[in-house]
A and B are shown apart, each in its own frame.
Chain A
Amino acid sequence: MKARHKRFGFLIVGLVVLAAAAYLVFNALGNNLSYFFSPTEVAEHKAPANHIFRLGGLVQPGSLERGKELTVHFDVTDNHHTVKVAYTGILPDLFKEGQGVIAQGRMGPDGVFVAEEVLAKHDENYMPPEVADALEKGHQKGIEAMAKGNKPL
């Protein structure tokens, strides 16, 4: 065995050990590295009950209510569970019903999540508005066709 083969062996073994160590570390950390909790996790009491955490999901369409002064109420959903959120402050530009948000705050005693900060989360889709319109129209047509009893395409 030449010295260079030996060094190559050391290198490979080192990298494998390193990868294994990294795998174990991140496996142990698990979901602690996640930036937010989903409404389902909140419903299953996986989110901390009495200190600050972040809640992420979609703003339930039709749930946005602007109250007195700057306080807004909306529901955050992951299509399985829903959490009511109250927030006083200025919302980011991308905040919209049906759009992803991440709210930081704590659960109130009445089951309403009191947010101190709201961030908008956008998705990985990029397209011109005309394409978005066309997609939306196609989607509506599909829904109408299904309502008439036609099979989806």
Chain B
Amino acid sequence: MVNIYKFASPATFYPVAGKIARVSTWIAVLLLAVGLYMSFFVAPTDYKQGEGYRIIFIHVPAAWMSMFIYVVMAFWAGVGLVFNTRLSSMMAQALAPTGAIMTFIALWTGAFWGKPMWGAWWVWDARLTSELILFFLYIGFIALQGAIDDTRRADRAGAVLLLVGVVNIPIIYFSVKWWNTLHQGASVSIKNGSAMSTIMLQTMLIMTFAFWAYSIAVALYRVRSIILEREKDARWVSELPEIRR
């Protein structure tokens, strides 16, 4: 069996992260090319919304990622708090900008979708408002972590914020079910299957996997930089070929 605890050490994880990041980059480029082609040329026009609905292929994957990345960050923050592992806090820190940008894309494309379909750029319904709060949570985490010089204290403060904010995730997800909202209900769910035609669903899933691969790649490249920055006095860092050069 592979000893997973081995990878909790920054020195072992650093090269592994590099390898996974490279592979993920290629997967992301490939899936994005296929997914975007399908989004624009293969997926049929919608019976009601016409061509404008195509923004769903960016909007929904970004919104899913925005929630999922937050949960992953909260998980790493929890692990960091309990086990005092350095790497888990670094993972949380590395994921934050990607999560924030995904939330921003979801909000931004949503506005572009809302104007022609609903007739409004923005409304204060439960779904939109809770997603905006998620964006503030990301920004708040990044700011709080950046504001404290001592990394151990910064990690701990950030972790508490992340764990408190995790309440917001089910609220975002179920808001369209619990309350009347202008935002429509979920088209794809585990319980009810999909309310989309197959080719549209396939396109959306390919785009989702592309966003996954992208997020994994950038988060791992970022965590490599964070490792180097935080461990700069460690001997293994000074022995890296790219440092010695």
Contacts and interface: CB of A to CB of B under 8 A. Distances in A.
B181 A35 contact: yes
A147 to B, nearest CB: 26
A38 interface: yes
Contact of A35 (B163, B167, B180): B180
Nearest to B53: A126
Contacts of A11: 78, 81-82, 163
Interface residues of B, number: 40
B176 to A, nearest CB: 9
A151 B116 CA distance: 42
Contact of A124 (B82, B119, B126, B184): B184
B3 interface: no
B182 interface: yes
A131 B47 contact: yes
A49 interface: no
A120 interface: yes
Contacts of A119: 118-120, 123, 182
A18 interface: yes
A94 interface: yes
Nearest to A100: B184
Given A7-B82, A11-B81, A94-B49, A126 B200 contact: yes
Interface residues of A, number: 41
Interface string B95-123: 00000000000000000000011111001
Interface string A16-55: 0011001000100001011111100000000000000000
A118 interface: yes
Contacts of A93: 116-117, 119
B47 A34 contact: no
A26 B196 contact: no
A4 B84 contact: yes
Interface of B: 44-49, 53, 56, 78, 81-84, 116-120, 123-126, 163-164, 166-167, 171, 178-182, 184-187, 195-197, 200
Interface of A: 4, 7-8, 11, 14-15, 18-19, 22, 26, 31, 33-38, 56, 91-94, 99, 102, 117-133
Given A119-B118, A129-B46, 14 more contacts: A7-B82, A18-B164, A36-B180, A92-B116, A93-B116, A99-B48, A117-B119, A123-B184, A123-B185, A125-B196, A126-B200, A127-B200, A131-B197, A133-B47
